[in-house]
Amino acid sequence: MAKLFGSETYARLSNQGMQIMGGYGYSLEYDMQRHFRDSRIITVSAGSSQMQRTVISRAMGLKVV
């Protein structure tokens, strides 16, 4: 749950950061582009968000189709 919440929060906030910084956020001169890339891959690696939701649902005893 912590991984799912943390990674999705990081992705959402870095997406907002990109929007706030505009073109500068995309530039390699600023760390924003790194946060944007890092936050996206964290929702895929070490158990994607979809897989995390499946595991959590099973642990809660919910039926997973």
Q: Which residue is nearest to ligand FAD (CB)?
A: 48
Which CB atom, from 13 or from 44, has the smaller least distance to ligand FAD?
44
Which tokens is 35 given?
């946060």
Cβ neighbours of 14 (radius 10 Å): 21
Give residue 4's identity as a one-letter amino acid code.
L
- Which residues of this chain interact with ligand FAD, rule CB under 6 A? 41, 44-46, 48, 50-51, 54
Minimal distance in Å, beta carbon 19 to ligand FAD?
23
Minimal distance in Å, beta carbon 8 to ligand FAD?
12
Listed in sequence order, the residues at least 6 apart from 13 whose beta carbon sits closer than 8 Å to its beta carbon are 39
